[in-house]
Amino acid sequence: MTDTQTYSSDVAFTPTVKAIQARKGSRDGYARVEQDGGWRSEVDDNLAAFLADANSLFLATASADGQPYMQHRGGPKGFVKILDKQTLAFADFSGNRQYITQGNLAENPKANIFIMDYAHRRRVKLWGEARVVEDDPALLASLMPAGYKARPEQAIVFRIAAWDTNCPQHIPQKFDAADVAAALASRDARIAELEAELAASSLRAKRSNPGSNV
């Protein structure tokens, strides 16, 4: 019997994809996932926390004839804002002015966001539709990270159709330079604090025992 029920993962699991899954032996497992609720289609606490810590993403689009394009976007942690349970947005800063993403979205709103967290070996992928907003200064101001030295040109608003996570297999563990610098600075400050305490303790010992070799 053919399953006619629709699932959020159908945005990626087309009939052709499902046929390949069946041929290669993974369809039953994904069918159970679908029956158990499938991929999520709204922002939950886990995704909100993930986005709050993200400072980089890849936005994939395609032209009307299907030519794919992927663009990197970044900013301070939390630059991706949650407008509501199904809508994300971020300021689109001025770059090389090729406007390939904007042109693609004008022809084909379907898009995908892919976010990597190398430090914790996590990744999140989101399917949906995106649009460029050029004429809403209030929205753009609300998306601009405080104190960030970049020129916002427009906003990109992303409507979530489905999202899912991937296993950590094969993800190399990497750390942001700023996070490493902060950890080293904290370590160095603690070493200096302990050295000062040791020196003070040694001085007190000498004062209390003038004839000792302490």
* 54 and 153 share one domain: yes
* 149 and 190 share one domain: no
Give CA–CA dist 126/80, Å, rounded: 13
Q: How far is CA 200 from the centre of its chain?
A: 47
Residue 64: inside a domain, yes or no?
Answer: yes
* 124 and 154 share one domain: yes
Give CA–CA dist 88/3, Å, rounded: 32
* 123 and 195 share one domain: no
* 145 and 81 share one domain: yes
186 membership: H or E segment, kind and range? helix 177-208
- CA geometry: angle at 90 spanning 86 and 93, to 5°? 160
Give CA–CA dist 36/34, Å, rounded: 5
Domain extent, residue 34, equals 8-38
CATH of the domain at 57: 2.30.110.10
pLDDT of residue 111: 98
Residue 2: inside a domain, yes or no?
Answer: no
Give CA–CA dist 130/54, Å, rounded: 19
* 151 and 202 share one domain: no
Beta bridge partners of 117: 122
pLDDT of residue 1: 41
**pLDDT tens series, the chain, 214 aa:** 456 789 999 999 999 999 999 999 999 999 999 998 889 999 999 999 999 999 999 999 999 999 999 999 999 999 999 999 999 999 999 888 899 999 999 999 999 999 999 888 999 999 999 999 999 999 999 999 999 989 999 999 999 999 999 888 888 888 888 888 988 999 999 999 999 999 998 888 888 887 666 5
pLDDT of residue 176: 86
pLDDT of residue 33: 92
What is the tally of structural domains in the chain?
A: 3
Residue 119: inside a domain, yes or no?
Answer: yes
* 191 and 100 share one domain: no
